[in-house]
Amino acid sequence: MREALLYERLDGAQVRCHLCMQGCRIANGQLGLCQVRRNDGGTLYTLVYGRPIAQAIDPIEKKPLFHVYPGSQAYSIATPGCNLRCTFCQNADISQAPQQGAIIPETDVPPEAVVRDAQRYGCRSIAYTYTEPTIFFEYAYAIATLAAAAGMANIYVTNGYMTADMLAMVTPPTGPQLLDAANVDLKAFRDAFYRRECGARLQPVLDNLVSMKQRGVWIEVTTLIIPGRNDSDEELRDIARFIASELGTATPWHVSRFHPTYRLTDAPPTPVAAVRRAREIGLEEGLFYVYEGNVPLGDGENTLCPTCGRTVIERRGFRVVRNDARSGACPHCGGTVHGIGL
């Protein structure tokens, strides 16, 4: 075990965790909601430092991040645990493993080994993904510090439920930026959905999206379209308008198909037409880049120039088959194509 960051000691050997917006008050001998932070005698410990449950080399498009070093490889890493309880979790076998009584892996993979591995395989970035990076922050922070010094980018795939204190640590006013880009799940635009389906609230996610943008983090947003839950034109338009007005029209929005899984098996798979309608709504609201996820055919994964509308980056699945961007510019009209490393 390693002492946690971002907590305060309270009377009676209790602690208050300040890592995520759940703000758990944890009694002596107990775990936080994430099930991977334990109070031992008034000291909070992380149980997952150096204990990954998943390591892989992925195309960065799989995150999905379409505007960060397109076509590059991301070294992906996760530990068990999550600070939400989403009924539709796509990775519940690892994110909810501690809650279900699974034993945390007895591995020992120090941050230095992660960075060496990423360099050995020619990865341009390290992605903290699969589960929620907030809950293994101490481990991610140590890796990110080394990765930044080695010239690699750090990216989060996150539910956006961290605290401002945590964001301040990875985006300090002085010193290296330890978070370059993030794909943030904006799961819905109704607080009732977040409370019912995720065990969380909507407003902290919206606040953190704006904060990350202001702190210089490249943001891409993902919404999983679930039939009957968050798929009305009105709600999708609300999401698109929020992205356009608060994050900027150059912020990519990924709208993805849902497949029944985990505890949400009574909703059908999302019709392809519903995903395409969501994309239309995003474009109608002025977003430059709206992408279809989990849709096998069509051109909904291609990056189009916002100025002339021609294809600049062509994708099939998670693979870039053609990238004509020239230092962030369209080769056809010279217009700006936004992102990092285009």
The residue extents of the domains of the chain are: 2-46, 54-323
- CB contact at 8 A, 161 and 184: no
The pTM for the full model equals 0.97
305, amino acid identity? C
Please state the φ and ψ torsions of residue 49, each to the nearest 5 degrees. Answer: -65, 120
- pLDDT (tens digit, 0 to 9) for every residue of the chain, 342 residues total? 899 999 999 999 999 999 999 999 999 999 999 999 999 999 999 999 999 999 999 999 999 999 999 999 999 999 999 999 999 999 999 999 888 777 788 889 999 999 999 999 999 999 999 999 999 999 999 999 999 999 999 999 999 999 999 999 999 998 899 999 999 999 999 999 999 999 999 999 999 999 999 999 999 999 999 999 999 999 999 999 999 999 999 999 999 999 999 999 999 999 999 999 999 999 999 999 999 999 988 899 999 999 999 999 999 988 999 999 999 999 999 999 999 999
- CB contact at 8 A, 250 and 335: no
Tell me the C-alpha to C-alpha distance, in Å, between residue 307 and each of 132, 248, 280, 304: 36, 16, 17, 9
What is the structure's pLDDT at 105? 82
Sign of the alpha-carbon torsion through 18, 22, 27, 28: negative
- CB contact at 8 A, 105 and 42: no
What is the structure's pLDDT at 317? 85
What is the structure's pLDDT at 104? 83
What is the structure's pLDDT at 175? 86
What is the structure's pLDDT at 330? 97
* CATH number for region 54-323: 3.20.20.70
Indicate the length of the chain as a whole number.
342
Quick: pLDDT tens for 16-57. 999 999 999 999 999 999 999 999 999 999 999 999 999 999
What is the structure's pLDDT at 107? 86
